Structure 1
Amino acid sequence: MANKVPTNIITGFLGVGKTTAILELLKNKPEGENWAVLVNEFGEIGIDGAMMTDQGALIKEVPGGCMCCTAGVPMSVGINALLRQKPDRLLIEPTGLGHPKQVIATLTSSQYQPYVDLKATIGLLDPRNLSIEKYTQNQNFNDQLASADVIIGNKVDQCTVHDVDEFNDWVTNQTPSKVFSKLVQNGSIPIEVLDIERMYDGASSQIEPHHHAHAEQEPQFELPPGEKYIRKENKGQGYFSCGWLLGAEYSFDFDELFSMLSALTAERVKAVVNTNKGCYAFNVANGVVSVNELSLEGFESRLEVIDSQLMPWNDLESILLKLAGIEL
């Protein structure tokens, strides 16, 4: 490759709005440019990539935990596949439970230095979380923010004056100082932020002892012949996930599905689903359900639930299959 590909890591904890931010960036990218996105999810069923496919970007997914596991094999497979397509920019979204320092270490290694121009790491933060011990005492939450050159306080429209003050105080007290910070809503990262140079080199290449090896090859989400659906579970770092992939021939009643998702108490829910009103992306965070229509057709529906408590997956599955009209 004659030119290095400008690359940004966009990190942040569960529910902070990383996928929404990337979708906004894709909508506002320079006309004629071809962008690529590597998506990592804690769950075993890929959701974010399905949401982004509608924006015409090159997408690769690494499901099933942190992409740096198994000595970086899953991440390297995804990056290599995207770089071969010579994108004008590469965005990398680690899981909300991931460790960005290892991702930085991989991208700055001798393997990728000739091909990747790693720019500023962008950390998304919900200012409300700075007042909640559950987040401020979480090592991943702190690691993600410490690794970021740029801090974007997202969801400011849902924040109180106290939340905004906490964010501003937090940014002011950071050592070393952050290069740039801004409060936004709906994940509206200023596109010029992507070209800010990376400042911090303190990336560790060591994987923490509690890290697990997950996917050892490229993910395959297609249903086996004759199967109506598949279910996959994952756990680690104090969280549990369960995901379902359902055949494209099955459709949900939009209103019934919305009601079910609204009633779920899980910390994080994502879905891309065929409904009687078309294909929709559902995103649940902090008890709020957001919906976006997609132009996908003939797509396999998928849903992922993440929570810090082990949930009654069998009961949830029964409800989900009933809504989809799947008889067992």
Structure 2
Amino acid sequence: MTNKVPTNIITGFLGVGKTTTILNLLKNKPENEKWAVLVNEFGEIGIDGAMMSDQGALIKEVPGGCMCCTAGVPMSVGINALLRQKPDRLIIEPTGLGHPKQVIATLTSDQYTPYVDLKATIGLVDPRNLSNEKYTGNQNFNDQLQTADVIIGNKVDECTAHDIDAFNDWVTDQTPAKVFHKLVTRGQLPIEVLDIERVHGGASSHIESHHHHHAEMEPEFQLDPNQPFARKENKGQGYFSCGWLFGAEYRFNFDELFSLISDLKAERVKAVVNTDQGCFAFNSANGVVSVNQLSLEGFESRLEVIDSQLMPWDQLESILLKLAGITR
């Protein structure tokens, strides 16, 4: 490789709209460019990559929250695999519970500086969360915003005037000042923001160690030929996740699945599912469910639930199996 690949980290807490933002960027990228996306999720199943694969980008997933670990082996494997395909741009989406400073430290290391041109780190925030102690008291939430060069206040259409004032006050008080900030709806990030140079989003010389459960270190997760479904759990940093993967031959009733996801009180629900009406991506955050149809075929359905409380996974699994027509 003779040219460095322009690279951006897009960070933000759970449910802030990172995936939606990246999907919008992919839809608006120059037609002659090939973009790559490295997706890291706290859950073990991997939902975001399935949503993005419909946009024709090069996708690599690191499920299970592994990318934020100090060793960084799964992240390096994923980055190397994407760089070998010579993309015109690389976007990295760490988990909403991740440590952006470690990702920056890796990308600015001697290993990657000959190949990666790290541009501004973009931090997404829901302005409503800036007045909520649940978020402002969370170290990762604060680290993500502190590390970002660019701050995007997303979901402004769901905010009150008080929320907008809180966002503007917060941005004004930042030292050092943020390079750029903007309020947007539905992740409509101006594509020009990706070319802003990195200024103060540097890696700290000290990165706090952290521990969480790991499943398999391999980023790919598939079903065995005779296995109708599989379940994976993860926990760490005060959050629990449980995900299910279902064989491509199973179809869910769209209406029943939508009702189930709408009724779940979890903080985060994501799914890409084959239904009787086609393949759909479901996204639930703050009690709001969005649905988008995908053109995927022969795809293994997957659903992931994340919450700060341990939920009755066995009960939920029984409901999902019934919806899929799977008998134990």
The normalised TM-score by structure 1 is 0.98
- Give distance in 2, aligned partners of 1:121 and 1:211: 25
What pairs up with 1:105-254 in 2 under 5 angstroms?
Answer: 105-200=105-200, 202-204=202-204, 206-212=206-212, 214=214, 217-254=217-254
> How far 1:210 moved relative to its partner?
2.6
- Give distance in 2, aligned partners of 1:218 and 1:287: 32
- Give distance in 2, aligned partners of 1:121 and 1:256: 39
- Structure 1 position 4 matched with structure 2 position 4: yes
What pairs up with 1:50-61 in 2 under 5 angstroms?
Answer: 50-61=50-61
Offset from partner CA, 1:43-75 (integer Å, 9 cap, x none): 000100000000000000000014032611000
Counterpart of 1:2 in structure 2: which amino acid?
T
- Give distance in 2, aligned partners of 1:150 and 1:2: 28
Offset from partner CA, 1:206-240 (integer Å, 9 cap, x none): 54233337356432321012111000000000000
Q: Which residue is equivalent to 1:271?
A: 271
8 Å Cα contact 1:101-1:205 kept in structure 2 = no
Offset from partner CA, 1:297-328 (integer Å, 9 cap, x none): 11000000000000000000000110111111
- Give distance in 2, aligned partners of 1:316 and 1:215: 21
- Give distance in 1, aligned partners of 2:257 and 2:92: 30
8 Å Cα contact 1:77-1:218 kept in structure 2 = no
**Structure-2 change in CA distance of 1:216 and 1:223 (3 Å):** closer
- Give distance in 2, aligned partners of 1:249 and 1:220: 20
What pairs up with 1:15-26 in 2 under 5 angstroms?
Answer: 15-26=15-26
- Give distance in 2, aligned partners of 1:55 and 1:62: 19
Greater shift, 223-232 or 204-213, is seen at: 204-213
SS at match of 1:185: coil
What pairs up with 1:282-321 in 2 under 5 angstroms?
Answer: 282-321=282-321
Q: Which residue is equivalent to 1:323?
A: 323
- Give distance in 2, aligned partners of 1:51 and 1:125: 21
**Structure-2 change in CA distance of 1:215 and 1:179 (3 Å):** farther
- Give distance in 1, aligned partners of 2:217 and 2:310: 27
8 Å Cα contact 1:152-1:182 kept in structure 2 = yes
Greater shift, 222-231 or 210-219, is seen at: 210-219
Identity over the aligned pairs, expressed in percent?
Answer: 83
RMSD: 1.1
The normalised TM-score by structure 2 is 0.98
> How far 1:20 moved relative to its partner?
0.1
Q: Which residue is equivalent to 1:96?
A: 96
SS at match of 2:245: strand
**Structure-2 change in CA distance of 1:206 and 1:215 (3 Å):** farther
SS at match of 2:72: helix
Counterpart of 2:306 in structure 1: which amino acid?
I
> How far 1:200 moved relative to its partner?
1.5
Offset from partner CA, 1:238-273 (integer Å, 9 cap, x none): 000000000000010000000000000000000000
> How far 1:202 moved relative to its partner?
3.6
| Paired residues, number | 328
- Give distance in 1, aligned partners of 2:215 and 2:231: 15
- Give distance in 1, aligned partners of 2:43 and 2:182: 30
SS at match of 2:117: strand
8 Å Cα contact 2:43-2:304 kept in structure 1 = yes
Unaligned stretches of 5+ in structure 2?
none
Unaligned stretches of 5+ in structure 1?
none
SS at match of 2:284: strand
SS at match of 1:104: helix
Counterpart of 2:183 in structure 1: which amino acid?
L
